[in-house]
Amino acid sequence: MNTRSHRLPLLRSAAPGLATVLLLSEAHAAVTSADLADLSIEQLMNEHVTSVSKREQSLMDAASAISVLTNDDIRRSGATSVPEALRLVPGMSVGQINASQWSISSRGFSGQYANKLLVMVDGRTVYTPTLAGVYWDMQQSMLQDVDRIEVIRGPGGTLWGANAVNGVINIESKSARDTQGGMLYASGGDVQLTSEGMRYGGKIGESTYYRVFGSYQLTDSYDMPGGGSAMDRWYSESGGFRLDHYEGEDTHFTWQGDATGVDINDHASDGYNVNTLGRWTREFAERSSVEMQAYYDRTYRNESTRAKVTVDTYDLSAQQTFGIGERHDVIWGLGYRFVGNESEQTTPAILVRDDYMDLHLFNAFIQDEFKLIPDKLTLTAGTKLEHNDFTGFEIQPSLRAVFKPTENQTVWAAVSRAVRTPNILEDSDMFAVLLGEPIPGPGGTYVPRIVGTANADSEVLWAYELGYRIQAEERVNVDVALFYNDYERLIDFSTTPVNFVPGATENTAEFPLMNLRSGRTYGGEASVTVEPVDNWRLSASYSLLLADLRGPEVGSHPVSDNQQQGILRSSVDFGKASFDAQLRAVDQEVGVGGYVTADARLSYRPTDKLELSLVGQNLLDSGHREANQFFGTTNGTVPRGFYARVTWNF
């Protein structure tokens, strides 16, 4: 498969594709319209979000750079996974490494295991402490049952804790009450070979609802950049349940669980995740509520090029919201998490020196929202205090302000401190990772290896943000966010060996991971959404990231990284059919050329219960690279692909 990089300036590269998308959409828009979506642009801006303040508030009033992907956005995009859907979010860096692996980050520091991004599924964190990242191929949410994906670009440590440094992704599922009846889908294509799933929802008594679901997906191998198969063919299976019980309008109990299994390249890498979560919520008044949550999560991963890892997580949390007078809304909470990590060596490239480690995390937070001038100026101040086994106590305060000069305009600003705690690789001698060929040392040759150190401190971010939103007309919405991030104590490995350790079977030159770097990133995101007519919606966004990192010239992060990205989306309905197209232009970064690509989806509903769709992905070339691989990962070129899908509701 040939790889074609686009190194022209971003806008000039995008121009032909932009014109194509616009012309196609304008031609279809002339046809008699149907309802494009359940919500108008004005209603979407007043959509309630919960990730910014852990309580419902209008998107228009949020003091954060937040985007919401609705279920309709996800369906119309043709995405088959959460990472594909995240490509729609301004400021998100989403690159596919191979058929199953992804590099996803917000506002810099991208990588297969981006360690400054917190990801949650229905309040359950999927951030693994072993490598400080997310196994994206194991996050197989049934997209038809996802209610929304809320994405915060910027720190969220005050409410969500350590590692919510550059962003928070909160994937929220629909209530079982909203998924009654049956749904069955099946698809097939040339890259995504097959994908099937089903869900059935029912009712127990008058106030209890349930659903059960299962899905299967098989994806073909990609090609390597230099030719030949990347040998990354993979499949996944998942299934689960959800139960929602309501007592009147003020009490809600949720119990859910699911299991996912993945297999890559005929057992060269495989794994599974099983989890269960329970949450009880009680509203006492309009501004007073209590929530308690508990979950268990087990993740198992067996990789022949890395290690065999099992992580068991037990998490308990509780929070309360209440009002003080007419102007103060307070939320506070407590939490405890236990994580057990068990590891086994599978390759000489990564030595496993200690096979088990327990971690304990205690936290407490409080935040007060003060209406200084009702309906005009609101100040929000809060902090989170955590204690972890690596660095002890950590504090993450924030101060946010929202000013509304008019009812349809919002200006917001924020100053925040967030931390990323070291992972097990960085802060212990549990692992020793091969760095390269043997080097000379005292009395012979030594194998260079990256090792952790018990002296590593947390990475620290001071973030300064400014944003503006306006609902210019009923059909026009503009959102702009600027940021300046100042990082301290970034962890990287030393460029010279610190210890030469003779051994019976191997002499080791140790390159320790330490707090060696500092730096800054700055830039912004801008987006505009327009509805020219009732059946046609256009949105465009642009993001810019500039970075200046200081420290060793050799290490896991480049000294500087500049990136810009543009996205154009068009959605149009005509009769029983709809047509959606999106164009993405991504600037080059270190080691990866820039590229421009487009996706399109055509769907037809012969009845209210049946939908037929045809999707084309990465249409502008036969294949291109999007991201750098991590140690032990094969890099592939992302190919052009097509698939057809049938969805039946009954």
73-87, 216-230, 420-434, range with the lowest pLDDT? 420-434
Inter-residue contact 96 to 113 (CB < 8 Å): no
- Classify residue 109 as left (phi > 0), alpha (psi -120 to 50) or beta: left
Burial bucket for residue 411 (CB in 10 Å: 0-12, 13-18, 19+): middle
Look at residue 380 and tell me if it is in a domain: yes
Q: Is 6 helix (H, G, I), strand (E, B) or coil?
A: coil
Inter-residue contact 553 to 559 (CB < 8 Å): yes
**Span 56-66, average pLDDT:** 90
User: Which DSSP string corresponds to 302-354?
Assistant: EETTSEEEEEEEEEEEEEEEEEETTTEEEEEEEEEEEEEEEEEE-BTTEEES-
Among 413, 362, 360, smallest CA distance to 389 is for 360
Q: Considering its fold, how many domains does the chain have in total?
A: 1
**Span 513-520, average pLDDT:** 90
**Span 160-165, average pLDDT:** 89
CA dist., res. 499 & res. 450, Å (int): 11
Residue type, 248: G
Look at residue 15 and tell me if it is in a domain: no
**Span 538-549, average pLDDT:** 93
Among 193, 129, 110, smallest CA distance to 452 is for 129
Look at residue 31 and tell me if it is in a domain: no
Helix (H) or strand (E) holding 413, with range, is strand 409-420
Of all residues in the chain, the percent with pLDDT exceeding 70 is: 90
Look at residue 25 and tell me if it is in a domain: no
User: Which tens digit of pLDDT belongs to each residue from 371-392?
Assistant: 999 999 999 999 999 999 989 9
CA dist., res. 442 & res. 446, Å (int): 9
pLDDT for 83: 94
Q: Residue 402: what are its φ and ψ, rounded to 5°?
A: -125, 125
Look at residue 21 and tell me if it is in a domain: no
Look at residue 402 and tell me if it is in a domain: yes
Look at residue 32 and tell me if it is in a domain: no
Burial bucket for residue 274 (CB in 10 Å: 0-12, 13-18, 19+): middle
Q: What band does 555 get if pLDDT is binned at 50, 70 and 90?
A: low
CA dist., res. 252 & res. 245, Å (int): 6
Domain that holds residue 487: 41-649
Q: Is the pLDDT of residue 100 over 90?
A: no
Helix (H) or strand (E) holding 107, with range, is none
Look at residue 560 and tell me if it is in a domain: yes
User: What does the buried/exposed string (b/e) look like for 82-98 if buried means 16 or more CB atoms within 10 Å of the residue's CB?
Assistant: bbbbbbbbbbbbbbbbb
Q: Calculate the average pLDDT of the chain.
A: 87
User: Which tens digit of pLDDT belongs to each residue from 79-96?
Assistant: 999 999 999 999 899 999
Q: What is the DSSP letter of 229?
A: B
User: What does the buried/exposed string (b/e) look like for 19-53 if buried means 16 or more CB atoms within 10 Å of the residue's CB?
Assistant: ebbeeebeebbeeebeebbeebbbebbeeebebbb
Residue type, 262: V
Q: Is the pLDDT of residue 544 over 50?
A: yes
pLDDT for 400: 97
Q: Which residue has the higher pLDDT, 200 or 101?
A: 200
User: Which tens digit of pLDDT belongs to each residue from 173-210?
Assistant: 999 999 999 999 999 999 999 999 999 999 999 999 99
Inter-residue contact 637 to 98 (CB < 8 Å): no
CA dist., res. 629 & res. 95, Å (int): 10
Q: Write down the pTM of the prediction.
A: 0.90
Q: Is 13 helix (H, G, I), strand (E, B) or coil?
A: helix
Q: How many CB atoms lie within 10 A of CB 643?
A: 20
Q: What band does 26 get if pLDDT is binned at 50, 70 and 90?
A: very low
Among 431, 437, 537, 391, smallest CA distance to 477 is for 537
CATH number (domain holding residue 155): 2.40.170.20
